[in-house]
Structure 1
Amino acid sequence: MTVTDTGASAPPETAAAPAPRPHWIDDWRPEEPEFWENGGRQVARRNLVWSIFAEHLGFSVWLIWSVSSAFLLQMGFTFTPQQLFLLVALPNLVGSLLRLPYTFAVPRFGGRNWTMISAALLLVPTLLFAVAVQNPDTPYWAFCLIAATAGFGGGNFASSMANINFFYPAAQKGAALGLNAAGGNLGVSIIQLLLPVMVGGAGIFGLVKASEGGIHLQTAGYVYAGLAVLAFIAAYLWMDNLTGATSKPREQLQVVRKPHTWIMAFLYIGTFGSFIGYSAAMPLLIKLNFWVPEPAPLGTGIYFAYYAFLGAGVGSVMRPLGGWLADKYGGAKITLIAFGGLVVFTLAVLVTLMQLEPNPAADPAIASDNQSLFPWFLGFFLLIFACTGVGNGSAYKMIPAIWRRDAEAATEAGTPARTAAIMAATKQASAALGVIGAAGALGGFLIPIAFSSPWVDDPLSATKGAFVVFTAYYVVCALVTYAVYLRRSAVVGV
């Protein structure tokens, strides 16, 4: 294997050969079995491991407001439910908008180099967060700006997935991209599990006790700032850039002319948009419908901090399964099954919500009555998260498969034209991953906004109405998946 990174040997230099650049690999041919087995697999795996770590951290910072917003009132801030949902939604909006430039950054700067830059950028939202939450006089508009900077972490996903797409052969992209995404998605669950413990807001089911010194949200900001520095160092030492993973933004933007880019973006809003949107909103949904703060310290009903992490955890674990199933049975089939599950279980959550009583903030009796319905709410919601995870993995498998199929259809096997077409298709697929990922992440903004629905007086009514809309969207997504990718006259092989 001919490489010029620090982790693999390079052939002897000739007089005409340029000096090797550290951490740049000039010869990368993962589709050739001999190349892959003689060192390629190890290099790809090493980059995947540290990509997962950096992306995991990015997701944690991206969703830091999802659980911390639920603690702001206990720290003396007087924000309405609508204001809290907006704080949860803003990072998702910015993160979705950043995904496109983050995708283009990989060919421009190199996957390793951009991982270092994107990790360093996480110091902005973490340190600003730590400073703002210590001052009860911090105005709401400042919180909105700081929450928006957390979107830097959301952009990490696009660049990480685009980078890993170059490292793996087509037959293993589903599993590799699924693992990479799952590691990142787990950052949502981990921040929701550990932040309450770090800041002294809650323990973990009695196994770990909460701090008795009050809530200190700034601790989470400082911890994740330190981890951002660690991700920067890890990328510097152990990741690589691929010389062949280069293209001009104009070439990458050609994917916006392809109808499949927008079809898959529409579907990905239903899978990933649901995952990130529900993950962001779940702590507040539990708090507003099943808990009141009296009597102190843990109030009455279901304490949100104990359960908020479960949904994101289930969705993250199921994502590589979706990629594996897509490799085995086809991405379109698994995606259709995922949307079918989303329709059924979203309706089940809606039926459960229909039995709840509106939960005034000062009425422990209603919170106690609603508590009996929480196991059904949680169980159905976790099944929704499982379906989003499977759908995320299978949909992402479909994207490179669509572009590769088109390249193969236009060329003859075993020819230089086929090799060049597949390389070009890989670059186009990586650009498409960014565009589609950006569109999908918009769901993370729209879902919390739908739950807040400032035009609806009763928060519970707003939540019910939102789930009706979501169910209808999943039905349309299922029909589109079948019509475009599964029926006889549809696209095949994805």
Structure 2
Amino acid sequence: MTSARTARGRWIENWDPDDEDLWERGGGRRVARRNLVLSVLSEHVGFSVWSMWSVLVLFMSPRIGLGFAPDEKFLMVVVPTLVGALLRLPYSYAVTLFGGRNWTVFASLVLLVPAAATVWFVQRPGTPLWVFLLIGATAGAGGGNFASSMTNITAFYPQRHQGWALGLNAGGGNLGVAVVQLLGLLVISTVGDTHPAYVAAFYLPLSALVAVLAALRMDNVTVLRTERGAQREAAASAHTWLISLLYVGTFGSFIGFGFAFGLVLQSQFGSTPLQAASFTFLGPLLGSVARPLGGRIADRCGGARVTLWAFAGMAAGIGVLLTATRNDSFPLFLAGFISLFVMSGIGNGSTYKMIPAIFARQAEDAVTSGHDATAAFARSRRLSGAVIGIAGAMGALGGVAINLAFRSAYGRLGTGEPAFYAFLAYYALCAAVIRAVYLRGGRKTAPGSAGEQVRTSRVG
């Protein structure tokens, strides 16, 4: 491993974390850990800014001259979710153009825009809805951080540790949802529910600090610069879209429920802002902690198998929500929602573990067939990073769908039951895909390009 400096920052050349000598004695583990820590911090702040509107809408009432209807508030959380999803592909691609360190600096500085705009407008009585939708759209930049961060960290860790590393990276980022909701609770409980600007102001110095730390301590790796055509190649693989389907169910549920939880409590039970804020952080907190656990279990038991268990648990959680809704039971409803967060967190980690396992197995097949091992495993790593970006974007779109489903259900019928039944049907579809494609014994030709094979027992 050698390093060099260019006009655009610090670059590491000849990086190969699967080289055990480099990893254990050449400083590879230390370099990877340093970049992982800063990547988690950057992604954490990004998630906080992205999900900030799930907290801000709890403050909006006639008391501060911002009386919006429930369907308008749901729209305010849909917009940043949608923009964040759309930005994930270009953010993932940007890492291959500019380097992980350089892009992290830029992506952190961009978060100053939505934070500053929110501070300026959120306590101005009579501000129209379109202004908040526009500010929410800029907050979507925080959602893009996930894709660039995950693509970058994939390049730093050997395949055997990627379940844990990606789970830790994503879990630490996901914690940003819980932290911003805890911050909202702190503001409401100390100075009241008429000062939402305090929530946004907290992220002005924090975003700047993360940018400085990334500039000083992170690295770019040249191996990522060879991946510019990886997204196009990944898009031709059926595995990309099957994994995306699963990730819509796991991460889409996590982020969709995380954005909507407080509004659902207000719509379903008439909770006050303080009551809603007192509980909304619990689900995202436990779901975030569960994510690296899901990756670690998947390292040992197989990603597909653990993901199937996660969908079974999520279906059970929906059953609890339906029972609670019919019996008007707040404690049971809360328990059902929290179980959904935990199981979706586990599924997030295990689904991402499936990605490198699938393409690593393809590389092994190629080597067995006589192809060059170096080229085969380089392709595996390239495609893994690209699929992570695509699946991350598609998963965030699942969050959009969940909030739109809630907006329609509560706006028209005043109950979330129709949305819960839709989620249950989707989880059943995902479970069927896992059983049919990734948990059937022996070797099968997976759907997609000719000759694309995977030993499903190794994935599961």
User: What is the TM-score of this pair, normalised by structure 2?
Assistant: 0.93
1:411-450 to structure 2, matched below 5 A, reads 411-412=367-368, 417-450=372-405
Structure 1 residue 408: Cα displacement: 1.5
Residue 449 of structure 2 corresponds to which residue in structure 1? none
Q: How far does the alpha carbon of each residue in 1:167-208 deviate from its partner, in whole angstroms, 9 at most, with x for none? A: 0000000000000000000000000011232xx312xxxxxx
Residue 380 of structure 1 corresponds to which residue in structure 2? 336
Residue 215 of structure 1 corresponds to which residue in structure 2? 194
Residue 295 of structure 2 corresponds to which residue in structure 1? 323
* Mapped pair 1:397 → 2:353: yes
1:252-263 to structure 2, matched below 5 A, reads 252-263=231-242
Residue 44 of structure 2 corresponds to which residue in structure 1? 56
Aligned length: 445
Aligned in 2, Cα 1:64/1:171: closer, same or farther, shift over 3 Å? same
- Identical amino acids, percent of aligned pairs: 47
Q: Does the aligned pair in 2 maintain the 1:82–1:454 contact within 8 Å?
A: no
Structure 1 residue 456: Cα displacement: 5.3
Structure 1 residue 251: Cα displacement: 3.8
Q: How far does the alpha carbon of each residue in 1:371-421 deviate from its partner, in whole angstroms, 9 at most, with x for none? A: xx22111112111111100100000000111111111211149x9921122
Structure 1 residue 269: Cα displacement: 0.3
Match of 1:33 among 20, 31, 51: 20
Q: Does the aligned pair in 1 maintain the 2:409–2:419 contact within 8 Å?
A: no
- My pick for the range that moved more, 340-349 or 215-224, is 215-224
Structure 1 residue 98: Cα displacement: 0.4
Q: Distance in 2 between matches of 1:77 and 1:412?
A: 65
Residue 60 of structure 2 corresponds to which residue in structure 1? 72
Q: Distance in 2 between matches of 1:25 and 1:456?
A: 53
SS at match of 1:201: helix
Structure of greater Rg: 1
Q: Does the aligned pair in 1 maintain the 2:65–2:124 contact within 8 Å?
A: no
Q: Distance in 2 between matches of 1:195 and 1:424?
A: 44
- My pick for the range that moved more, 179-188 or 380-389, is 380-389
1:25-174 to structure 2, matched below 5 A, reads 25-38=12-25, 39-73=27-61, 74-174=63-163
Q: Distance in 2 between matches of 1:3 and 1:248?
A: 20
Residue 450 of structure 2 corresponds to which residue in structure 1? none
Q: Distance in 2 between matches of 1:148 and 1:166?
A: 30
Amino acid at match of 1:256: A
Of Structure 1 and Structure 2, the greater helix share is in 2
Residue 237 of structure 1 corresponds to which residue in structure 2? 216
CA RMSD of aligned residues (A): 1.8
Q: Distance in 2 between matches of 1:120 and 1:292?
A: 36
Gaps of 5+ in 2: 445-453
Aligned in 2, Cα 1:236/1:292: closer, same or farther, shift over 3 Å? closer
Q: Does the aligned pair in 2 maintain the 1:175–1:320 contact within 8 Å?
A: yes
Q: Does the aligned pair in 2 maintain the 1:166–1:426 contact within 8 Å?
A: yes
* Mapped pair 1:285 → 2:264: yes
User: What is the TM-score of this pair, normalised by structure 1?
Assistant: 0.87
Structure 1 residue 432: Cα displacement: 0.8
Aligned in 2, Cα 1:30/1:20: closer, same or farther, shift over 3 Å? farther
Structure 1 residue 457: Cα displacement: 2.7
Residue 309 of structure 2 corresponds to which residue in structure 1? 337
Residue 430 of structure 2 corresponds to which residue in structure 1? 477
Q: Distance in 2 between matches of 1:448 and 1:221?
A: 22
Residue 228 of structure 1 corresponds to which residue in structure 2? 207
Amino acid at match of 1:409: D
Q: How far does the alpha carbon of each residue in 1:98-147 deviate from its partner, in whole angstroms, 9 at most, with x for none? A: 00000001110000000001001111111111111121121111111111
Structure 1 residue 454: Cα displacement: 6.8
Structure 1 residue 334: Cα displacement: 0.3
Aligned in 2, Cα 1:251/1:292: closer, same or farther, shift over 3 Å? closer
Structure 1 residue 76: Cα displacement: 2.2
Gaps of 5+ in 1: 6-18, 203-209, 357-372
